[in-house]
Amino acid sequence: MTDVRELVRAFRASAPTDDPVAFLRARFDAGLAWVHYPAGLGGLGLPREQQAIVDEELAGTPSNDPRRIGIGLGMAAPTLLRHGTAAQKRRFLRPLWTGEELWCQLFSEPGAGSDLAGLATRAVRDGDGWRITGQKVWTSMAHRARWAILLARTDPDLPKHRGLTYFVCDMTAPGVDVRPLRQLTGEAEFNEVFLTDVFLPDDLRLGAVGEGWAVARTTLMNERVSIGGGALPRGGGLIGVLTALWTGRPDVRTAAAHDEMMRLWVAAEAARLTGVRARQQLAAGDPGPEGSAVKLAFAELAQRITGLELELRGADGLRHDDWTMRRGEAVDFEGRSPTYRWLRAKGTSIEGGTSEILRNIIAERVLGLPAEPRTDTTVPWRELPR
Amino acid sequence: MNLLYSQDEESLRDSLRALLRSRAGSPDDGFDAQVWRLLAAELGVTGLIVPEKLGGAGASLREAALVMEELGRFLTPVPYLGCAVMAVTALRVAGDTTVLSRIADGSACAALAVPFAGPGGDVRVTGGTLTGRVASVADALAADVLLVPAGDELYEVAADGPGVTRTPVVSLDVTRPLVDLTLSAAPGRSIGPAQPALGAARTAGAALLASEQLGVAEWCLDSTVEYARTRIQFGRPIGSFQAIKHRLADVWVSVTQARAVARFAAGAVSGVELDGAEPRLAAALAQAHCGPVAVRAAEECVQLHGGIGFTWEHPAHLYLKRAKTTSVALGTAAAHRGELAGLLGLTPAGTP
Ligand SMILES: Cc1cc2nc3c(=O)[nH]c(=O)nc-3n(C[C@H](O)[C@H](O)[C@H](O)COP(=O)(O)OP(=O)(O)OC[C@H]3O[C@@H](n4cnc5c(N)ncnc54)[C@H](O)[C@@H]3O)c2cc1C
């Protein structure tokens, strides 16, 4: 078996040091980007847990900032790996991982959020490509993205899950119009995206025509793992912010708050260990449904922890840091004011599948309970009420 | 720390299930002597954590945790927690070898003479014999040996010896009966200082009780899901109603978390030191989290079974009683949160 630690040390000794991007490219080419990916695509085909050794050995070297490239890393990459052609993998994975090209997700539409398969954006054949027309919404990072994963309808006469096709969208193509959509924190991490007769060559199609839903399910499963699955130390993240406040400010302490804080500490540690276990299962080759549990728990916790923090701070807690309309780059849970944290946490139970939808998925796919009676899965999409 | 189950653990689980399933009977007596003998003779699990040189299997508390899971799932009325986990841990810390060998070969069962919940009993040493009372002792009914703390020492006392009276009490959990213990000039053999032995037994017990609670919660979830799939009302299986699906999904999420926490606790107490901060933290976390999860799962089990769930015939009530009892025994969730706060330096209000 390959000794990863030695490989990394050898790489470190010879890697370019002058330019961060050159370093990241070399790291990718050495197979040390994501070791569980195949050789030639930034990996070495090793068990996923070996990545920890690589990251440990390369601490302090130029980073691609996983938060900034989160959508590419967490959603686009695993989907490309599973469903992309050899050429697509070669074209997209390296600049995705180095952070030279950012990605966004053109899934949700004004009329299709939870019911994603109901979407209306059309893709129509045009010679050796496709013409895309429609409106997407709540699209995080579209204003920075070079590429997007895009789900569009290719056949409105089929039932809704069967008429969808998955594309990679060129965000610089004529007809792509990105407009900021301000959110309740005051800034704009997300956008409205208008697609007007956008031409995409057929080699930007991912998977077969009409198979878009199957491809999208890969994306959605990985989205849940990546939202819930960040590796935190014990007592880190939002619970760390709360306990630091407690330790540093004896004046805010009350008996009731103490018990609530300890409940949250226990819940946070349980959620964290569940995430650790989910990643160990993934590394052992058995992904399991734990990702949904982690995502649901994280969303609820983030809201309760930030809510308690605001209460503890009293009047001081009510001072917001900045309402200026800004184009956000990433979620900043720890860097900004308690009010920002509390407001932004309200999005955690909506983005990436609402908590209600996750409960449906758990109940039906994990526990095997019967689906709700439905009328929308067998009739042509065209005939559905919208 | 690895939170998954090893292959050895999975095959132990299979053997346990095969044995326990064939024995699923009425738990009304609170002790199934035959299954206890089989557990010792066929699987050797009573001596699982007894060192090999004393005739045990020399395994760690991680494997014992797995046994706890299955015993919880089947609600098997045997004194595994009291004897094979807590008494064995206490005896190991006290440095005993004779009782341990007898536990390993299945010829004796031991129990700690301490209340299952709450502070210790009141036993005095006078003229080399023990006199006093300990109320609500778990797993003592089937014990041959009682480990009695008196003064600063831990004593070995023959359970059916002179001066020992065990009075069964009517306990909430009929599958883990309690007794009141009275000692009047009972002869005892000192086997070592009491405090370290009891502290270690308590930490190990609390950590592993989480695995039992996990087994209880899993049974409650599985049986409720099964029922919700098949029970028809309003022309549909009740499990197709979202009000029910979402509650079961929430139970699943908390059981999934309980599994991670219980595995973590079992791993954390599997080292040599049981009085360190890390094992104590893991045990307190486990009890603060897993106790309430099991209670909630059992309560939902009764509720979602409707009228049947409220009957004596349906086993749901046995799980409910076990879940509530274990969430109080060895400390409530609130008490364990207090312990955690101390270990983490998160001081209560009013302290600087
Ligand atoms: C911060 C943030 C970032 C986002 N980023 C992106 C992005 O980058 N790309 C992208 O494509 N999308 C993005 N989204 C959109 C997000 O995926 C959708 O908002 C989400 O899926 C919910 O859809 P909806 O808003 O249409 O709500 P709806 O589906 O209309 O739901 C409204 C309410 O009804 C509930 N509900 C709906 N159906 C059911 C049901 N069957 N049972 C019970 N309850 C139900 C929902 O849970 C919710 O509470 C983002 C959203 C947020 C908040």
Residue B173, domain extent: 111-192
Q: What is the mean pLDDT of residues A73-96?
A: 97
- Residue B352 domain-assigned (yes or no): no
Q: Ligand 1 atom closest to Cα of A116?
A: 21
Judged by CB atoms closer than 8 Å, whether chains meet at B261 and A270 is answered as yes
Condensed to tens digits (0 to 9), the pLDDT of residues B41-83 reads 999 999 999 999 999 999 999 999 999 999 999 999 999 999 9
Number of domains in chain B: 3
Give pLDDT tens digits for B266-321.
999 998 788 899 999 999 999 999 999 999 999 999 999 999 999 999 999 999 99
Domain end point (choices B140, B167, B192)? B192
pLDDT band at B23 (very low <50, low <70, confident <90, very high): confident
pLDDT at A347: 93
For residues B104 and B115, membership in a common domain is answered with no
Q: Is residue B37 assigned to a domain?
A: yes
Across the strands, what pairs with B189?
Answer: B156
Q: Same structural domain for residues B94 and B135?
A: no
ipTM: 0.87
Listed residues B82, B108, B134: the one ending a domain: B108
Query: What does each C-alpha distance from B157 to B136, B160, B163, B165, B328 come to in angstroms?
Result: 18, 9, 10, 12, 27
Rounded distance from Cα A354 to ligand 1 centre (Å): 6
Residue B351 lies in a domain: no
pLDDT digits (tens, 9 = 90+) for A127-149: 999 999 999 999 999 999 999 99
B170 plus B213 within the same structural domain:
no
Catalytically active residues of A, by annotation: 223
In a domain, B31, yes or no: yes
| Interatomic CA distance for residues A356 and A113, integer angstroms | 12
How many angstroms separate the CA atoms of A138 and A69, rounded? 17
3-state secondary structure chain A: CCCHHHHHHHHHHHCCCCCHHHHHHHHHHCCCCCCCCCECCCECCCCHHHHHHHHHHCCCCCCCCCCCCHHHHHHHHHHHHHHCCHHHHHHHHHHHHHCCCCEEEECCECCECCCHHHCCCEEEEECCEEEEEEEEEEEECCCCCCEEEEEEECCCCCECCCCEEEEEEECCCCCEEEEEECCCCCCCCEEEEEEEEEEEEHHHEECCCCCHHHHHHHHHHHHHHHHHCCCCCCCCHHHHHHHHHHHHCHHHCCHHHHHHHHHHHHHHHHHHHHHHHHHHHHHCCCCCCHHHHHHHHHHHHHHHHHHHHHHHHHHHHHCCCCCCCCCCCCCCCCCCCHHHHHHHHCCCCCCCCCHHHHHHHHHHHHCCCCCCCCCCCCCEHHHCCC
Interface check for A68 against chain B (CB to CB < 8 A): the answer is: no
Cβ distance of A293 and B257 shorter than 8 Å: yes
**Based on the domain organization, do B159 and B130 belong to the same domain?**
yes
Same domain, B310 and B261: yes
**Residue ranges lining ligand 1, Cβ < 6 Å:** A 104-105, 107-108, 113-114, 138-140, 190, 347, 350-351, 353-354, 356-357, 360
Q: Which of residues 200-259 of A touch B (CB under 8 A)?
A: 235, 243, 246-247, 250, 253-255, 257-259
CA distance B271 to B200: 12
The domain boundary residue, chosen from B60, B87, B108: B108
B63 within a domain of the structure (yes/no): yes
Spatial separation of the C-alpha atoms in residues A310 and A338, rounded to whole Å: 6
pTM of the model: 0.91
Q: Do B50 and B104 fall into the same domain?
A: yes
A367 touches chain B (CB under 8 A): yes
Question: Distance (Å, rounded) from C-alpha B110 to C-alpha B82?
Answer: 7
B122-145: pLDDT as tens digits: 999 998 899 999 999 999 999 999
List the CATH number of the domain containing B145: 2.40.110.10
pLDDT digits 0-9 by tens, A147-179? 999 999 999 999 999 999 999 999 999 999 999
- Say which of A253, A266, A356 has its CB closest to residue B289: A266
For chain B, percent of residues with pLDDT exceeding 90: 90
Match 């009302």 to its residue by tokens. B233
Say yes or no: B184 and B244 in one domain: no
Q: Which two tokens stand for residue A209?
A: 């025509």
